[in-house]
Structure 1
Amino acid sequence: MTFIQTLIAFFVALGVLIVVHELGHYWVARWCGVKVLRFSVGMGKVVFSRRIGPDQTEWALSALPFGGYVKMLDAREQDLKGLPPEDLKREFTRQSVWKRFAIVAAGPLANFLLAIIVFAGLYSYGIPEPSSRLRTVAENTAAYQVGLRGGELVTAVNGESVRLWTDLRWKLLELAIERQPASLEVERPNPSQPGSTVRDTVTLRLDGLNTSDLESDFLGKLGIDLARPRAVLGKIVDDGPAMRAGLKEGDEILQVNGKPVIDGLAFVETVRSSPGKPLEIAGLRSGREFVLTVTPEVQTKNDRNFGMIKAEVPMTPEMITASEAPLAAVGKAVKKTWDSSVLTVKMLGKMLIGEVSWKNITGPITIADYAGQTARIGIISYLTFIAFISISLGVMNLLPIPVLDGGHLLYYSLEVLTGRPVSERVGEIAQRAGVGILMTLMAVAVFNDIMRLMT
């Protein structure tokens, strides 16, 4: 059932992105007066079609679902003999270079517009997300060395306000890629006045991160993690290890085997890593200290053993529902789309010069997996996934690689500069080179997908 859900989520997302991209080409082509012969979702043999409109444009579904195209009246592809003069005027290559430029650029721009619309809608609706509060910081980390200890609420990074954990992570990632320091404005508990806070600013150096750190949990390398609630037990399952040991709902766990428990997540991790091993637990119950021993029962999943005491441990972090006024939401969405596009280009540049591994290139298997995961989490996560994939599709199509939209835009740019179109011979050679580049990138992406599945 999970596999079917993943496939449905993947093909729905893929279909939306393809239709939006090709509609961009279609609408601008019609606006520029070019005759559109076919609008196809999918590639290869047409399996279903219907002609609509004054031009009798063929709207089609094709056999291969990976892609789509808009077929226009084009002298390079069709024999135009016998066409009436009014149709010849609507042929693609007879249009000015600026009209051709606009038609080709409209596809990627439609993907960016989709991302802006989705983000703006989500920001207006309100997205419940974890706040930017920090978990207890481990010693011998960069965060600990600059004075962060945990419990701080990060309110700004390099002067830019942050409220959400995703905003904090995103800004630190941008700075880490550029090896720039991060100035964090924080609110921390005031030790002299319980319940109040004091403001402070710390500067976190990010140039110590290497390439492999950026590809994994780079925040963890710095000592930064999302704050979790205290280890206070919720519902206790009847006849489970927790109940048999004497644990009760509302108990706060302070230590396990003499080691402090910083939060509920740490307690769960300790229990899971101790199948069948007695754990001495010290805690508080109604303000009184207690000590008892519980032995997690052994559970097995995917040939791996883990411990379970059958007690609920709340781990939901401090949440904020961030909503904006419509106009502010649009502005924030535009900025998010721009920042994501710039970061994607930077990452591609880092790959070319060897500062970021090519393992970051993902293919259809990984994308399908993420589609399924986000769809199961909820509609907000799924829409966010579609927005980010739409941005990636827009950026990739603007790369100056022949065959892609960006390659054609490069041709038209050269035509503007030289005053004449690129020769057919040069175009043919470039097309072959572009196909080779795309096939290489696809091979790398599929290889990376397979390696992720195996590991």
Structure 2
Amino acid sequence: MLEQPPIWLIVVAFVCAIGPLVFFHELGHYLVGRLFGVGAETFSIGFGREVAGWTDRQGTRWKVGWLPLGGYVRFVGDASAASEPAAEMPTDPRSFAGKPVWQRFLVVLAGPMANFLLAIVIFVFFFAAFGVPRTPNVVRAVVSQSAAASIGIQPGDRIEAIAGQATGTFEDIQRIVALRPGEVVTVRFTRDGQEREASTKLGVYEEVDRFGQKYRMGQLGFYATQRGLVTLPPAQLLPEAVNTTWNLTRVTVEGLWQILTGRRSVKELGGPLKMAQVAGQQASLGLFQFVSLLALFSINLGFINLLPVPMLDGGHLLFYSIEAVRRRPVSAQAQEWAFRGGLALLLALMLFTTVNDLGSFGLWEGLGRLIG
């Protein structure tokens, strides 16, 4: 088992991870806003007192705040960094609030989409440089007394789908099964050209990574052929990267849904401290592992910002969708209360995940031993 990286590496790695992700996110907002003629007053990476900055020829103040936990673009006509509309009617033609609702929608949507695009670009470069992991979905051997053995899967069978999701490769099987420890799933497979289907309860095993962190995983119980990397033609790199990003987004959605429905423990929900620890761990393993983590973080950031929570991009998109249907914006009072509720929810979530993170570091267990 590897030792945990030093605190300084964790801090540096976290800043080096969050900074670029926030920059690309806000750059998406900024570029699409500029496309529609929206003026930007501030482009900030981080919050709080300005550490460094400059003002460009368009009058935008580009700055870095001392607290590197986010960022924002403040457009002309915004009442705050959260892009709450100003109370008065906009008179400046560059005002964000004065633009048609469809343009405001696209400006806000551009932030999360920039994060997904960044992940796609990373995967394109990885696949071009190293190839694509692609193992056939054919069974080489079956583990005795496993879920696969219980439904009669045999060597040579081809696993076509699990839990209603197609499994064209062994990597697809791993992705789907890992998220469903102890769940009953339907497995569709072919043998000698004949399609068969059966239901089984997946096994559960605890995977321990190189830093001693434990993860509860599902297990079907068979071995595939030797894994390898496939070199793709240049024209197939982008579609493969898009597909990989989509699959990882589905994993994020499914994992969150399992937590919300009680199928997974809320203790698995991590916050900034856990992200910092993981960033430091991956940075200690090398550049490849760290950049791979950046792609995953970028996907998570894009997805989380699409959630329909006021203060997040998804909350703004929800308001704009309502405005498009009603042909008039949601009242200022309703938006104000929604933003307050969204802020309270985000603060409560950050507090909860921080308590979770500290627990995963063993703090509460250590305090319990001291008190006991």
Residues 162, 415 of structure 1: alpha-carbon distance in 2 compared, 3 angstrom cutoff: same
Residues 398, 80 of structure 1: alpha-carbon distance in 2 compared, 3 angstrom cutoff: closer
Q: Which residue pairs with 1:140 in the alignment?
A: 145
Q: Which residue pairs with 2:221 in the alignment?
A: 223
Contact 2:159 2:187 (C-alpha < 8 Å) held by counterparts: no
- Equivalent of 1:35 in 36, 39, 45: 39
The 1-side partners of 2:205 and 2:217 are apart by 11
Higher Cα Rg: structure 1 or 2? 1
The 1-side partners of 2:316 and 2:215 are apart by 33
Aligned residues: 343
The 1-side partners of 2:129 and 2:283 are apart by 18
The 2-side partners of 1:225 and 1:105 are apart by 42
The CA deviation at 1:147 is: 4.4
Q: Which residue pairs with 1:70 in the alignment?
A: 73
Alignment of structure 1 residues 411-426 onto 2, 5 Å: 411-426=319-334
The 2-side partners of 1:73 and 1:177 are apart by 52
Residues 363, 135 of structure 1: alpha-carbon distance in 2 compared, 3 angstrom cutoff: farther
| Paired AA for residue 170 in structure 1 | R
The 1-side partners of 2:203 and 2:324 are apart by 43
Alignment of structure 1 residues 138-177 onto 2, 5 Å: 138-147=143-152, 156-158=159-161, 160-162=167-169, 166-173=171-178
Residues 155, 209 of structure 1: alpha-carbon distance in 2 compared, 3 angstrom cutoff: closer
| Paired AA for residue 141 in structure 1 | S
The CA deviation at 1:177 is: 9.9
Q: Which residue pairs with 1:343 in the alignment?
A: 251
> Once superposed, what is the RMSD of the aligned Cα atoms?
3.5
Q: Does 1:446 align with 2:315?
A: no
Q: Structure 1: where are the runs of 5+ without partners?
A: 187-197, 228-317
Contact 2:133 2:228 (C-alpha < 8 Å) held by counterparts: yes
The CA deviation at 1:154 is: 7.8
Q: Which residue pairs with 1:2 in the alignment?
A: 5
Residues 127, 35 of structure 1: alpha-carbon distance in 2 compared, 3 angstrom cutoff: same
The 2-side partners of 1:27 and 1:75 are apart by 17
Contact 2:26 2:73 (C-alpha < 8 Å) held by counterparts: yes
Q: Which residue pairs with 1:60 in the alignment?
A: 63
The CA deviation at 1:146 is: 3.6
- Equivalent of 2:21 in 1, 17, 21: 17
1:256-308 CA deviation, whole Å, 9 max, x = no partner? xxxxxxxxxxxxxxxxxxxxxxxxxxxxxxxxxxxxxxxxxxxxxxxxxxxxx
- Equivalent of 1:375 in 283, 286, 300: 283
Contact 1:142 1:204 (C-alpha < 8 Å) held by counterparts: no
- Equivalent of 1:363 in 254, 266, 271: 271
Q: Structure 2: where are the runs of 5+ without partners?
A: 208-213, 366-372
The 2-side partners of 1:66 and 1:359 are apart by 22
SS of the equivalent of 2:34 reads: helix
Alignment of structure 1 residues 242-281 onto 2, 5 Å: none
Q: Which residue pairs with 2:107 in the alignment?
A: 103
The CA deviation at 1:103 is: 0.9
The 2-side partners of 1:154 and 1:66 are apart by 49
Further displaced range: 380-389 or 346-355: 346-355
Residues 179, 441 of structure 1: alpha-carbon distance in 2 compared, 3 angstrom cutoff: farther
The 1-side partners of 2:139 and 2:281 are apart by 26
Alignment of structure 1 residues 194-213 onto 2, 5 Å: 205-207=199-201
SS of the equivalent of 1:218 reads: strand
- Structure 2 length-normalised TM: 0.80
SS of the equivalent of 1:89 reads: coil
| Paired AA for residue 140 in structure 1 | Q
Contact 1:120 1:326 (C-alpha < 8 Å) held by counterparts: no
The 1-side partners of 2:231 and 2:246 are apart by 20
The CA deviation at 1:212 is: 10
Q: Which residue pairs with 1:404 in the alignment?
A: 312
Residues 102, 354 of structure 1: alpha-carbon distance in 2 compared, 3 angstrom cutoff: same
Q: Which residue pairs with 1:92 in the alignment?
A: 96
Identity %: 31
Q: Which residue pairs with 1:118 in the alignment?
A: 122
| Paired AA for residue 148 in structure 2 | A
The 2-side partners of 1:116 and 1:368 are apart by 23
Contact 1:47 1:62 (C-alpha < 8 Å) held by counterparts: yes
The 2-side partners of 1:92 and 1:64 are apart by 26
| Paired AA for residue 396 in structure 1 | I
Residues 124, 406 of structure 1: alpha-carbon distance in 2 compared, 3 angstrom cutoff: same
The 2-side partners of 1:223 and 1:72 are apart by 54
Q: Which residue pairs with 1:430 in the alignment?
A: 338
The CA deviation at 1:5 is: 2.8
| Paired AA for residue 73 in structure 1 | V
| Paired AA for residue 356 in structure 1 | R
- Structure 1 length-normalised TM: 0.66
Contact 1:43 1:66 (C-alpha < 8 Å) held by counterparts: yes
SS of the equivalent of 1:17 reads: helix
